[in-house]
Amino acid sequence: MSYQFAERVRIVEVGPRDGLQNEAHTVSVKDRVALIERLAMAGLSSIEAGSFVSPRWVPQMAGTAEVFARLQRRSGTSYTVLVPNRQGFEAAVAAGVREVAVFTSASESFAQRNTNCSITKSLARFEPVCDAASAAGMRVRGYVSCVLGCPYEGAVAVAAVVEVATRLAALGCYEVSLGDTIGIGTPGKAQAMLTAVAGSMPMEQLAVHFHDTCGQALANVLACLEAGVSVVDSAVSGLGGCPYAVGASGNLATEDLVYMLNGLGIESGVDIDGVVEAGTFISGVLGRLPGSKLALARRVDARIGLVR
């Protein structure tokens, strides 16, 4: 059976935010800036650079305003920050951010643990954010977590994923990322979920975001590419996990994704050597911090030998 893949896939690099927020210790502003700039130089045109969530809840993202003050922004690259509410949005605007992201869940239990409110209330918080962003000419990206399972509820109904994704789009999110937060999805379920959501909104408005807890992330991406998706989230060196989902491992590694896309003949505009170099850099930084969740140089040395 043959499939018509997209000719080009846009990779959304989430390592500097979704990846580093799960580390036991805060990476310095200097090193976060250096990582982001390396990723941009590697050709990644969409990078999550931080968040304006309260440091009380996510201390690893403290200093995001300083990151933006120091960052040498590359032309053609979008630097996104996560915001939980209007207050976070105003902080992002003050820092010179031009694109923000909002987040909720397809699971009520996870929404309560992660945002301390129901799904409906979380969406209500985003309405003034989306309105203000539209008035300022800024773009808003939406995230839906737990699309293939929840650590508290187990299975999540596909209908719930469809409803939340379409509501985010109705608020004004130009793109909605569907996240397998605990990494339990398999290719058939991932493809069926994506196809169901695409039945209610354009596929071009959707992205996929897989964690690799059960080693299924690349297989899930391939299944979703077969279904027509053309935007994929990943994190350099497989950084990440989830503070609210004990046992969930890191994100799909950007190096692995680029390697697969290259093998399929799909353009991404990303230089794999540059991503490997960025991975080597951040692995070294994290290796010097006590309690790092990242296995030092996660197969980076092997990749260097393979891809050059």
Contacts of 97 (CB under 8 A, 6+ apart): 68, 79, 80, 81, 138
Q: What is the DSSP pairing of strand 46-51 with strand 78-82?
A: parallel
Helix, strand or coil, per DSSP, at residue 85: coil
Helix axes 254-264, 272-287, angle to 10 degrees: 170
So which residues are the catalytic ones? 242
Q: Does residue 145 contact residue 181 with C-beta atoms inside 8 Å?
A: yes
Query: Residue 299 and residue 279: Cα distance in Å, rounded?
Result: 10
Amino acid occupying residue 110: F
Query: Residue 2 and residue 135: Cα distance in Å, rounded?
Result: 44
DSSP label of 43: T
**CA neighbor of 129 nearest in space, from 175, 86, 97, 80:** 86
